Amino acid sequence: MTLRVHSYESFGAVDGPGIRLVVFLQGCPLRCLFCHNPDTWAAAGGTETPIEAIVQKARRMRPYFGKDGGVTFSGGEPLMQARAVREAIEALHREDIHVALDTSGALDSPEALAALDAADLILLDVKSPDPARFKDVTGLDQAATCHVFNHLRQTQKPVWIRQVVAHGLNDTQAEKDATKAFIAGLNVLRIDRLPYHELGVMKYEALGLPYRGSALKPPSPEELPL
């Protein structure tokens, strides 16, 4: 089985615990206002890569992982390739390698839920707790994401919450309180509120795509904490 891989980061230090091999997978159904990787959207892009090639890369990096590191599947949206992702997680587990899955939770197929169950840690990207704002931010309905969140509540899979924060988008106390209610009941080990940036704007220009986030502004230090 193969995965369509966009790129790798060999010594990732922010996408899960320890030092990690981050595998950015191709394809994403979301069109987020603040996305800085529009080059990962097309499902047919990237490089078709055998799972064993990823496992071999992880084996070579194992001395750098230490006791906490491992592999993180990111994207794009890894759950677009859920069946192959689950196969890859199981192959890495046979090598005793920790695996994290960075997802928006926007796909709730049986294959997607099986991939979530297989991973050791979920990095869960919270787009918006409000259904109307969620649709505006991502272009998708929130129902699938709510189903995934409920599944993670039931399984109590360890979760790191991640949320991009922009002034005027989700910086008020009311919006923070709504986010806290939205993630209540999850087995949350860590919350990272990440300040909005415009580092991906040049990619839109290169791809000839309109950038929808031009009105967003970075939050102040006081607006960032949840």
Q: Is the pLDDT of residue 168 over 90?
A: no
- How confident is the model over 175-180, as a mean pLDDT? 95
pLDDT digits (tens, 9 = 90+) for 60-108: 999 999 999 999 999 999 999 999 999 999 999 999 999 999 999 999 9
With 0.75 as the threshold, say if the pTM is over it: yes
In this prediction, residue 158 carries a pLDDT of: 98
**Which residues are CB-neighbours of 173 under 8 A, at least 6 positions away?**
none
Q: What percent of the chain has pLDDT over 90?
A: 94
Place of tokens 């800085």: 36
What is the Cα–Cα distance from 119 to 80, expressed in whole angstroms?
Answer: 15
> Is the bond leading into 76 cis (omega within 30 degrees of zero)?
yes
